[in-house]
Structure 1
Amino acid sequence: MSQKSIRTPLNNVRGLGSAKEGAGHFIKQRVTAIALIFLVPYMMYCLITATQGGYDTAAAFVGNPINGVLIILFAGAAFLHMRLGLQVVIEDYIGKHTTRVVLLMLNTFVSIALFAAAAYAVVRIGLGA
């Protein structure tokens, strides 16, 4: 008893099919979403608390190691979640291969740059420089 493939003959020749990466991508996006469920309210608290007394109060708040680490974790989870979501949109709606590849690379580099800038700012403030 042979099992029939649902792929078209043209896709069989081209080798197009599942990239075997969908589940990992799905899980990463859900894990970052769950992390953000806890980190976003904390960040709201940080913004409200840290901005009440001006720059010195905010710098002292961010300079606290626990708060600094949680802010960096928030930035990492938020930018990774953003990159994963934009990746899906780009892959689904950009038809031209070259444009898609350029946008995917740009998406990755911008996400990394934004996280690096956020982490640098937190560490710089934390060190009191």
Structure 2
Amino acid sequence: MGMRAPLKKVRGLGSAKEGTTHWWHQKVTALALIPLFIIALAYAISLTGSSYDRVVYILSLPFSSLVMLLLIGAMFYHMKLGLQVVIEDYIHTEKTKIALLLLNSFICTVIGLAAALAVLKLALGG
């Protein structure tokens, strides 16, 4: 005899075993975003009023490019996780929920890849 209530056993509802992982990923990305955002903000403030060539030069340095790529990756993954929770909690129609979850993943991936491509283009001088 398990710890499940009889109705829960009949419906087959149990732990999806993903809640803790999802929670940890969101907390870790939030923590990673703090220093990455501070560094990116420092770059933005220091480059205010600089020429286009100076901005391109600074952002093409390996450390700058790495920080920006990590920021983009962490930010869009964190955004995808956060929006997923909102969709799962507040959308009750199954078809709409699935469509929005797919759209969320697609948009976060496409915009994240576009931003990463822009940084790589700067970094590689293309």
Partner residue, 2:83: 86
Count the aligned residue pairs: 126
- Deviation string for 1:37-87 (max 9, x for gaps)? 111111111111233312111111111011001100001111011000000
1:102 aligns with 2:102: no
- Deviation string for 1:5-37 (max 9, x for gaps)? 3x461x322212221100000000000011011
Partner residue, 1:43: 40
Partner residue, 1:56: 53
Aligned counterpart for 2:62 among listed residues 65, 69, 72: 65
Give the C-alpha shift of residue 3 in structure 1. Answer: 5.8
Question: What amino acid is the match of 1:115?
Answer: G
Question: What amino acid is the match of 2:85?
Answer: V
Q: Is the 8 A contact 1:79 1:115 kept in 2?
A: yes
| Structure 2 residue ranges without an equivalent (≥5) | none
Residue aligned with 1:61, SS: helix
Question: What amino acid is the match of 1:31?
Answer: V
How much is the aligned-residue C-alpha RMSD, in angstroms? 1.4
Q: Structure 2 length as normaliser, TM-score?
A: 0.92
2: distance between equivalents of 1:63 and 1:50? Answer: 13
| Structure 1 residue ranges without an equivalent (≥5) | none
1:16 aligns with 2:13: yes
Question: What amino acid is the match of 2:33?
Answer: L
Q: Structure 1 length as normaliser, TM-score?
A: 0.90
